[in-house]
Structures are given as C-alpha cells and as structure tokens.
Homo-oligomer: A and B are copies of this chain.
Amino acid sequence: MPDTIYERFITTRQATETICKPLATEDYSVQPNPDVSPPKWHLAHSTWFFEQFVSREFDSEYKVYSEDFAYLFNSYYNNAGERVLRPNRGLMTRPTVEQVLNYRNYVTEAVKKLMVKNTSPELLELIEVGINHEQQHQELLVYDIKYILGNQPTFPVYNGAFTQQKEGQNDGWINIQEGVYTIGHQGNDFCFDNELGVHKVYLHNAQISSKLVTNAEYIEFIEAGGYEDFNLWHAEGWDFVKKNELKAPLYWHKVNNEWHYYDFSGLSKIAPELPVMHVSYYEAFAFAEWKKMRLPTEFEWEIAADELNWGHVWEWTGSAYLPYPNFTKAAGALGEYNGKFMVSLHVLRGASIGTAEGHSRKTYRNFFHPSSRWQFAGIRLAK
C-alpha cells in the first residue's frame, strides 16, 4: 500500500461517487427493504462520519455544514428525540442528491485542509477508520444499487462494473492438519476491532474445497428438488423458504423455462461455470447437506486461506459471529461498531467483486443474517 493516507482519503471519497455515477437521480432515494439503504444515504452518512469524528473533533475552525444533515445522516437516532419528525431513510427526498454532493465536497475539502495542517497520529488513525468505514459502505452501496435496479421490472443496465468474470478454478481439496492454530489479525496495519484478540484454536483434520460451488452445480441442486426437501434444511431455513416461496437464489428468474439472472448488465441466461452468488446461509447449508458435506468454520477458512483462490464472493462459514476471546469494544461511539451485532449472525470470509481495493485481508470477519441474500455471497464446501 504505497499510497499516502492523504491520497487514499481522496481516492476513497472519489470512488464512492464513481460507484453512483451510472445512477439516475431517481435511483438515489428509494429503500426497497429495511436492509437496503438509499444510495443518497450512503453518500451522506460516510460524509457525516468524517464531519462528526474528524472535523468536529480535530478542527477548531470547522463550521458544521448543517445541523439538519448531522441529524439526518447519523445512525445513532437514540438521542434524536427532541425533533418533531424522525427521518425515514426510504422516504427522504430532501435534501436532494445535489445538496448531498455539495455536503460531500464541503467535508472532503475541509478534511484535506486539516490533514495538511495536522499530522498527529490520533487524527490519522481516525481518518484511517473513516476510510475503512467508507469502503465498507462502498460495498453495501454496490449491493443496494443492484437491489434497487434488479427490482425494476425493466431490468435496467448499470454498466459493466461489478459483474462476475470467468476465472479458472482448480478442483481439489486443501488439507488441514489437526492441531493448535493462531487466529486473528497480527501486525500494525489497519483492521477492525472484531479481528483483534489474537488467540489459539484447536482444529481437527479437515478438507476445504479449492473451488467455489458453481451455478451449474446449484442448478443440479434445484432440479434434484433441493427446495422441496425439508430434510436438507434448518427448521428456520425451511420456514424461510416456505414463507418466501423461494425456488432459487436472489435475482434468478425462470424465463421461457430457462434460468436467467439479473446482474449489472441486465437480464441474461445464467453462466453455468461461474460461482453461484446471492444465496442465504440457509441455502448454503442445505446445498452442503445435499452434497453430504458441510461449510468450513471461519477458523478452518483462515488457516487454509493462503492456499485458496479467494476474493470472488464472500463465503458463508459455519461459524456464528461471536467475539474472540478478549474482544474489547473501542471507547465511545466507535465502540458500537461491531460488538452490538454479535448475536444471530453468521460469519463470511474472503471478499467479493464488490469489495473496495485494498479492503480485503484473510482475517476480515464479515457478517450477515442467515436469511440475507443481497450481498455477494457464495458457497465453498468442506468435509
């Protein structure tokens, strides 16, 4: 990572805006479901983060852009009681996109100026957090844009970015030897609090597949009646399948009796050789059951990572998202960052084609609810 933090700050701020470029103004403000945030919100919230934790804290001359914005785009509504109306992300047509872009610009310039004057490690550390926070939002932005466009009956094209590419996958299995291993992030480069607490785990003999499950294999599962056989599913997963009448991954549609899917190039026939994406943990689990295998744990994954060709899709693991031994929350508002989600979610490891450059590492612990399907998630088997 040869770039200076100053350069990376600028690159990151620009990258967020670049992701939004292909959108129409109308696309910025809708929220099709509670998990999806409007693109405008991501643009503003990642800005608010710098304003709140960098400019307000470190820049005595900083003038708040707008108290309204500060109120509308933070995620911590718990103190917001004295306002007349609570913001509702998916109905917030004002401020407009243009106003939000002005806000972005204002804060970006302020932080740039500040970085010239002040190079204290405390400031740089917070800017590093802000960059990583914004990179996380970049990936969510990609997911959310796909969800918004992919639910238009006209299946509009975005552009060629963030679509899967063919790449060779080797058949084969990586062996893990029984024994004690060390887990967690080491070294001084940036990581999130949930990766810290380096600790030991005991692993048993296991094998992890070198390759990801493909669309072709997943279609076999569908055609073998995978979505109709409750023996393959968790009880909760089966309820989810029945309630939502699931028959395939998200974005898949049967057109003229052939499976198609929506991606950023529009609706097209499914490419059989590509890794399957947009499955929930329930589906990943049921697929593994059908194969009479299982998903790797996050620890197996981390130990095998160097031998895996990862980065294409996030990979569901069999591990629940829990604190590492000696996990401690950061102090203050930043402490809400990860710990409060450590119940009911599952860990995904790896990275995806939607992950920001320089934002992936083998100790990264991503996490989603077992029912989530809009993130770029796929399946790797273990046994």
A287-345 residues at the B interface, CB under 8 angstroms: 294, 318-320, 322-323, 325-326, 335-336, 340-344
Least CB distance from A122 to B in Å reads 23
Chain B CB within 8 A of A272 CB: no
Kindly identify which residue among B72, B281, B325 contacts A204, using a CB–CB cutoff of 8 Å.
B325
A10-18, A42-50, A152-160, A188-196 - interface stretch: A152-160
25 A-B residue contacts at CB 8 Å? A26-B26, A26-B93, A26-B94, A26-B96, A27-B93, A27-B94, A29-B30, A30-B90, A30-B91, A32-B91, A68-B153, A68-B154, A78-B230, A84-B153, A84-B267, A85-B152, A87-B153, A91-B148, A94-B154, A95-B154, A204-B325, A204-B326, A236-B344, A285-B343, A344-B370
16 more A-B contacts (CB under 8 A) besides A94-B152, A204-B326, A344-B344?
A24-B94, A26-B96, A27-B94, A29-B30, A30-B30, A30-B93, A32-B88, A68-B153, A84-B255, A85-B152, A93-B149, A180-B180, A201-B201, A235-B340, A320-B322, A343-B346
The residue on B at minimum CB distance from A203 is B325
B-chain residues with CB within 8 Å of residue A88 when the two chains form the complex: 32, 151
Is the Cβ of A340 less than 8 Å from the Cβ of B233?
Answer: yes
Is the Cβ of A152 less than 8 Å from the Cβ of B202?
Answer: no
How many angstroms from the CA of A118 to the CA of B260 in the assembled complex?
46
Interface residues of A (CB under 8 A from B): 24-30, 32, 40, 68, 71-72, 78, 83-88, 90-97, 148-149, 151-156, 180, 199-202, 204, 206, 230-231, 233-238, 253, 255, 267, 281-282, 285, 294, 318-320, 322-323, 325-326, 335-336, 340-344, 346, 370
Least CB distance from A153 to B in Å reads 4
Least CB distance from A213 to B in Å reads 19
How many angstroms from the CA of A230 to the CA of B68 in the assembled complex?
23
Kindly identify which residue among B85, B90, B340, B346 contacts A153, using a CB–CB cutoff of 8 Å.
B85
B-chain residues with CB within 8 Å of residue A83 when the two chains form the complex: 153
Is the Cβ of A235 less than 8 Å from the Cβ of B341?
Answer: yes
B-chain residues with CB within 8 Å of residue A230 when the two chains form the complex: 78
The residue on B at minimum CB distance from A36 is B91
Is the Cβ of B320 less than 8 Å from the Cβ of A152?
Answer: no
Is the Cβ of A28 less than 8 Å from the Cβ of B26?
Answer: yes
How many angstroms from the CA of A271 to the CA of B381 in the assembled complex?
52
B-chain residues with CB within 8 Å of residue A27 when the two chains form the complex: 93-94
Least CB distance from A214 to B in Å reads 24
